[in-house]
A and B are shown apart, each in its own frame.
Chain A
Amino acid sequence: MTGVLRRTFSAPTAVAGLVVLLAFIVMAVLAPWVSPHDPVTPNLLSRLSPPSWAGGDARFFLGSDHLGRDIFSRLIYGTRVALLVGFVGVVMAATIGISLGLAAGYFGGTVDNVIMRVVDTLIAIPNVILYLTVLGVFGPSFTVLVLVIGFINWTTFARVVRAEVLSVRHREFVEATRALGQRTLVVIVRHVLPNVIAPIIVVATLNVATVIILEASLSFLGLGVQPPTVTWGRMLADGRGYIATAWWLATFPGLFITLACLSLILIGDSLRDALDPRLRGR
């Protein structure tokens, strides 16, 4: 594993990705201490000030929004929801997906058939519409959001794990442990799972980026985590109305989302290359 990590971060792009990601994590954890202003209290006297370096009020590095709140501080607080939903959502999805994928691949037959039909069904429904429906029904909140992401987004993990399990299931070491009389669960957890971990890590890393964009989309549509909690998607939605007069409102949240996802994609890609040397440079 150390070899993989060394190979992964021998690529400068992956190092850059890691630095940016760590910066986001630090921002999220230390938000109350590093943000220059209160992110939620309106200050109507300083509405729509351009960024300080673009002729605006010197107090607002990235400008202020339509209620006079500091955009930079709001972006820092927004990091919390983005990363939390991203990581927790993916852990949920991965847990469900890995379990079902292992079961489908290892047992085959009816178990496999049922699980894969459920996967087919979930894949056929355009996911944003499904998310919107569920959030509309249960009401948008952090808990509902993370649960929904877990229960809908697991299909990728299940498919990857199932394919990997199918490829190791009949290898000698698995057959041997089974012949020795090990229980099925032990065989799966001790001998099959370690062999499918590598592709899961890659999928999970890239999936966090997908979920961050998804969370932003849902917030943008008004069905993400609700105010006063700050989310990047909501900031973008608010800024959309001021696009003709105050470009900074919508521009910077988008840049933050892009940067966060970029860092994860760079790390994920490099991780994939490190785990499968044949893919390098492809």
Chain B
Amino acid sequence: MTVYLLRRLVQMVPVIFGITLIVFVLLRVSGDPVLLMLPEDASQSQIDTLRRSLGLDKPIAQQYLIFMGDLVTGDFGRSIRYGNQPVLPIVLERLPATLQLTLGALVVAVLISLPAGIIAARNRRRWPDYSASTLSILGEAMPNFWLGIMLILIFAIHWQLFPVSGRSGFLSVVLPAVTLGTGLAAMLTRLMRSSLLEVLSLDYVRTATAKGMRPRGVLLKHALRNSLMSYVTVLGLQIASLMAGSVVTEQVFAWPGIGLLAIQAINSRDMAVVQAVVIVASIIVMLANLAVDLLYAVIDPRISYS
């Protein structure tokens, strides 16, 4: 187990390396940071001095090494917008809000898709199945930010059950989480249904039914666990798109997470913040994927990572 965990963490290194390379290249082509930091009437010697003090006069490969060295020691640069503060604490401070939102969306997705998928599979080609399929195709076709605006219109403005925007207690997370979770719920419902149908047609399930076991027992004891494997796999793969979707959702609900921070930073060309958001978000996605892989062993006892 420990060996497996270590190996997986080591495998992340080249990916993180690649991400930093992408970020570094993007940052360098985004224009001369020196010109952004100095007033427009700065003299050439002032520009040169600042450039030297920032190490921007060195060869590009050396700059990358310095950049990497800074990252490893937790120095992600300083923000132009937030009074020259270090960037990493700014991002980490916003992180809990985003995690709360994505976790909430995950809960919404599972709470909808698990029962809906099971009911659809058990009532194959009857109305519960058809309505689940229709709703899930709709859920996949709908852009989540539009759903968010419609939810605000109905539940926050018309009925005033939830706050319109912002992060203030449990009620405020409901609409954003539903907004972000619906697309995933739709996809997982279809997946749960099809993988359960596949398992239900297998011989061992027929045997269990033939020996007189009640349908509920067959489902809960035998079929469900095996159909959960592909469900969990896709759930893990979708965590990245959940994080991505949260950017838009945060904008709709003025939710103070890293997505909103990223948009504001991009609009004000605060590239150090943007770079920190990209790296932090990617590392979270990778850690989440690792966590999902470990979950396999819980679901399927045949899998062990020792």
Contact = CB atoms under 8 A, between A and B. Distances in A.
Nearest to B285: A124
A62 to B, nearest CB: 15
Given A132-B263, A236-B145, A121 B241 contact: no
A241 B184 CA distance: 27
Contacts of B84: none
B266 A120 contact: no
Contacts of B80: none
Contacts of B240: 123-127
A259 B169 CA distance: 35
B33 interface: no
A266 B140 CA distance: 11
Interface stretch (A43-51, A181-189, A209-217): A209-217
B146 A258 contact: yes
Contacts of B106: none
B301 interface: no
Interface string A114-138: 0001101101111111101111111
B83 interface: no
Contact of B15 (A124, A222, A250): A124
Contacts of B198: 282
A195 interface: no
By size class, the interface of chain A is: 35 or more
A68 to B, nearest CB: 22
B226 interface: no
B235 interface: no
Interface residues of B, number: 54
Interface stretch (B37-45, B58-66, B245-253): B245-253
B146 A244 contact: no
B150 A251 contact: yes
For B14, B146, B153, B251, which residue has the most chain A Cβ atoms within 10 angstroms?
Answer: B146
Contact of A258 (B143, B246, B248): B143
A254 interface: yes
A223 interface: yes
Contacts of A236: 145-146, 149
B244 A250 contact: no
Interface string A246-261: 0100110110011101
A125 B245 contact: no
Nearest to B262: A129
Nearest to A263: B141
B143 A136 contact: no
B205 interface: no
A61 interface: no
A259 B137 CA distance: 11
Nearest to B154: A247
Given A123-B240, A129-B244, A221-B263, A250 B149 contact: yes
A126 B145 contact: no
B125 interface: yes
A220 B148 CA distance: 13
Given A240-B149, A253-B146, A258-B146, A129 B14 contact: no
B267 interface: yes
24 contacts: A117-B18, A120-B18, A121-B15, A125-B19, A125-B281, A126-B243, A126-B247, A126-B282, A129-B278, A129-B281, A136-B269, A137-B27, A137-B271, A209-B140, A216-B143, A217-B143, A217-B145, A221-B248, A221-B263, A250-B149, A250-B153, A254-B150, A261-B140, A282-B193
Given A125-B278, A128-B247, 18 more contacts: A117-B18, A120-B14, A125-B22, A126-B240, A126-B281, A128-B245, A129-B247, A130-B22, A132-B247, A132-B262, A133-B278, A254-B146, A257-B142, A258-B138, A258-B141, A258-B142, A261-B141, A281-B124
Interface of A: 117-118, 120-121, 123-130, 132-138, 209, 213, 216-217, 220-223, 236, 239-240, 243-244, 247, 250-251, 253-254, 257-259, 261-262, 265-266, 269, 281-282
